[in-house]
Copies of this chain bind each other. A is one copy, B any other.
Amino acid sequence: MNILAIGDIVGSVGCRFLRSKLPTLKKLKAVDLVIANGENSADGNGLTPSSVRYLLDSGVDVLTAGNHSFRRKESYDTYDECGQLLRPANFPAGAPGHGYMVYDMGRIQVGILNLMGTVYMDPLDNPFFTADRLLKDTPTITVVDFHAEATGEKRSMGYYLDGKVSALWGTHTHVQTADACILPKGTGYMTDLGMTGTVNSILGVKPELTIRKMRSQMPVRFDLVQQGPFKMDCCLFEIDDTTGRCQSVEPLELQ
């Protein structure tokens, strides 16, 4: 089967661009399952019931999240109730929602795990141990969105789960990496998918604002660039249904 993984969708401009491009791409690439990171899909960061609804209506099957998961209180019930939304599994017990699901595609089931890194990020539970705990008795096809900052942590998790999952990709940095590959034991891998939103921006934000922040070290409100060009950074993982091994990895940057 073909799984399309889409990098952090930033703001309503990112959501709209995804909606304009995804249907065609799904047909063109015979995509069976679309998993996208939605942690920045609401304007002002985080995600909301309406940004979740919009993205699922646009052809995304499952949304994952990250360090901005719980920025919006209005999203907490959605995490609990929506069967197509995950947040990192290594948040402490008691967090709204779930970090792992088995997504039922009828003829086939797909395990989906969302994890978050702890290097240069919040001190969540050790993601390696959370993976150990949740990746028992998983379906043949199981994939992981590892939302993390440090390349060393992401590549380590890739090698740690190599042969145990079908594919693992990173999210969070909003910049696509060029290291997509199949790891030695058959797992499709990519350090970061990148982002979906405006091209001439700093991770979606107006450059003059992030520059002002770094030059002044004073508080700055991060407004998003609204005008295009836009892009959708993603990666297509072709998985063998019988073995769960990754057959091919194709990074894409759709403009």
Contacts of A160 in B (CB 8 A): 207, 211
CA distance A215 to B129 in the complex (A): 7
Asked whether A176 is an interface residue with its Cβ less than 8 Å from the other chain, the reply is yes
What string of 1s and 0s marks CB contacts (under 8 Å) between A234-255 and chain B? 0000000000000000010100
Least CB separation from A88: chain B residue: B217
B-facing mask of A183-205, CB < 8 A → 1, else 0?
Answer: 01000000100100000101101
CB distance from A162 to the nearest CB of B (A): 8
Q: Report the minimum CB–CB distance from A12 to chain B (whole Å).
A: 21
Number of contact residues on A: which range applies? 35 or more
Q: Do the beta carbons of B215 and A126 come within 8 Å of each other?
A: yes
A91: which of B149, B151, B217 is its contact (CB, 8 Å)? B217
* A218 surroundings in chain B (CB, below 8 A): 70, 91, 95
Taking a contact as CB atoms under 8 Å apart, the answer to whether B95 and A216 are in contact is yes
User: Which residues of chain B are near A142, meaning CB under 8 Å?
Assistant: none
- Supposing A123-B126, A151-B173, A203-B151 touch, asked if A214 and B178 sit within 8 A by C-beta, the answer is no
Which residues of A147-182 have CB atoms within 8 Å of chain B's CB atoms?
Answer: 149-153, 155-156, 159-160, 173-179
Residues of A within 8 A of B (CB): 70-71, 91-95, 118-120, 122-126, 128-129, 149-153, 155-156, 159-160, 173-179, 184, 191, 194, 200, 202-203, 205, 207, 210-211, 214-219, 251, 253
